[in-house]
């Protein structure tokens, strides 16, 4: 499924984010920035050591106590097709009463802000926080799309945003959410 927001295209596809050829892919990292399971593990495995080395330097120079939830940092893409990886930390879902929605929206918005600052025009997102971090898919998908759409309406420069969903169920949830948020009919 594809939608237009301002001058930008927003795409929803099923796939592996490590295969994407967008200028940047976004990693659902944890505060350590030292890799982990899920999409984080897949990105570091395919991107190679260079990404971890850059993450170590970022930790040492800027975030000695770890990257706070909702913030984002950028490294090269190492051996990936994407030139850059933007690492952001989504919230762990603890029932919804601890500011999770705002933090999840910030993870998307700060990733896009960093993309713009680095002249990135095309970017792929995974479904941040809906794996190990336990955010319910129906809510997370709406927050993700709203945050991206709001950013695209307020900022020019990003040409394409891809949501790369790992399962059919995830793709269906995002497409359903997009119809509600964007009032699309196909």
DSSP 1-61: -EEEETTEEEEEEES-GGG--SSEEEEE--TT-S--SHHHHHHHHHH-HHHHHHHHHHHHH
Residues contacting residue 173 through CB under 8 Å, at least 6 positions apart: 137, 138, 141
Q: Is 40 designated active site?
A: yes
128 near ligand ADP (CB under 6 A) = yes
Q: How far is the CB of 20 from ligand ADP (least distance, A)?
A: 9
Near ligand ADP by CB under 6 A: residue from 47, 77, 78, 126 = 126
22 near ligand ADP (CB under 6 A) = no
28 near ligand ADP (CB under 6 A) = yes
90 near ligand ADP (CB under 6 A) = yes
85 near ligand ADP (CB under 6 A) = no
- DSSP helix/strand/coil, 85: strand
Would you put residue 3 in left (φ > 0), alpha (ψ -120 to 50) or beta?
Answer: beta
74 near ligand ADP (CB under 6 A) = no
Q: Which is nearer to ligand ADP, 46 or 157 (CB)?
A: 46
Q: Which is nearer to ligand ADP, 12 or 166 (CB)?
A: 166
Q: What whole-number distance in Å separates Cα of residue 131 and Cα of residue 90?
A: 11
Q: Which residues sit at the interface with ligand ADP, rule CB under 6 A? A: 16-18, 28, 38-40, 42, 90, 126-133, 164, 166, 170
């Amino acid at each position: 499924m594809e939608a237009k927001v301002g001058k930008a295209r927003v795409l929803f596809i099923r796939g592996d984010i490590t295969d994407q050829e967008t200028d940047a892919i976004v990693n659902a990292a944890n505060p350590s920035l030292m890799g982990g399971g899920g999409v984080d593990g897949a990105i570091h495995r395919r991107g190679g050591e260079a990404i971890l080395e850059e993450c170590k330097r970022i930790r040492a120079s800027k975030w000695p106590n770890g990257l706070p939830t909702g913030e984002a940092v950028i490294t090269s893409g190492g051996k990936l097709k994407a030139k850059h990886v933007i690492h952001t930390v989504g919230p762990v879902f603890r029932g919804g009463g601890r500011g999770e929605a705002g933090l999840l929206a910030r993870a998307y918005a700060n990733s896009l802000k960093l993309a713009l600052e680095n002249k990135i025009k095309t970017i792929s997102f995974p479904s941040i926080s809906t794996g190990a971090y336990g955010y319910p898919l129906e809510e997370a998908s709406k927050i993700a799309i709203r945050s991206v759409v709001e950013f695209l309406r307020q900022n020019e420069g990003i040409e394409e945003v891809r949501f790369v969903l790992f399962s059919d169920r995830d793709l269906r949830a995002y497409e359903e959410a997009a119809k509600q948020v964007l009032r699309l009919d196909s």
